[in-house]
Amino acid sequence: MEVRRLREEDDRSSFSCGDDDLDRFFRRYAGQNQFRSHFGVSYVAVEADAVLGYATIAPGHLEIDRLPASSRKRLPGYPLPILRLARLAVALPKQGRGIGMALLRHVFALALQLDADFGCGGLVVDAKASAAPFYERLGFFELEVVEGGLQTRPQPKTLFLPLEEIRAAHKSR
Ligand SMILES: CC(C)(COP(=O)(O)OP(=O)(O)OC[C@H]1O[C@@H](n2cnc3c(N)ncnc32)[C@H](O)[C@@H]1OP(=O)(O)O)[C@@H](O)C(=O)NCCC(=O)NCCS
């Protein structure tokens, strides 16, 4: 298995991870976003030309008042540059075989590269409640909610992993 950038010729039409939103995004919008709008880049885990999973990333920023007070002390007052893991999904029959983790490790390496080139404070992910433990076991923690409001549908948990922890995880491989 190889993890690499999505190519226009990759077949996305039958990808199915069991979550309609993630499937629809990959089938309809991942290519458009990457090749025409330049809103984000997807990385795919492939084997024999079949896409087994994907991770979509984009650079972003994090308002520092969303971090716990203890981490804020040593930071400047302006937003922190971060890498955002916008979507991560593995095809249903291939789940539970380490592919999600392989995609995430690849994203860790990209966060370190972003840091080397432009600066990066860490990785942010808006996780579905059912997937949050997948990230939390690696040290991701939940960011503080700044704005309130009525929540009519299940809200994702915004999780963060600081760059030092990404570096430590990358070194210990
Ligand atoms: C969540 C998802 C990406 C994980 O990918 P995967 O390939 O199935 O996971 P892996 O096989 O790499 O699992 C690595 C480890 O995480 C654990 N894990 C996997 N999914 C988990 C979950 N939802 N909660 C807690 N732990 C999880 C595995 O048990 C494994 O543990 P181990 O190393 O102790 O054996 C995948 O199951 C998926 O696509 N789910 C549907 C879509 C989704 O929820 N995406 C996330 C949106 S934020």
Are 173 and 105 spatial neighbours (Cβ–Cβ below 8 Å)? Answer: yes
Cα–Cα dist 74/68, whole Å = 11
CA-nearest of 96, 93, 87 to 44 is 87
Q: Which atom of ligand 1 is nearest to the CA of 85?
A: 48
Q: How far is the CA of 101 from the centre of ligand 1 (A)?
A: 7
Q: Which atom of ligand 1 is nearest to the CA of 18?
A: 41
Look at residue 173 in the predicted model and tell me its pLDDT. 76
What residue owns the CA closest to ligand 1's atom 18? 134
What residue owns the CA closest to ligand 1's atom 40? 89
Look at residue 148 in the predicted model and tell me its pLDDT. 60
What residue owns the CA closest to ligand 1's atom 17? 134
CB neighbourhood size of 38 (10 A) = 9
Domain boundaries 2-171, CATH class: alpha beta
Domain regions of the chain by residue span: 2-171
pLDDT tens digits, one per residue of 33-76:
999 999 999 999 999 999 999 999 999 999 999 998 888 888 88
Residues of the chain scoring pLDDT < 50:
none
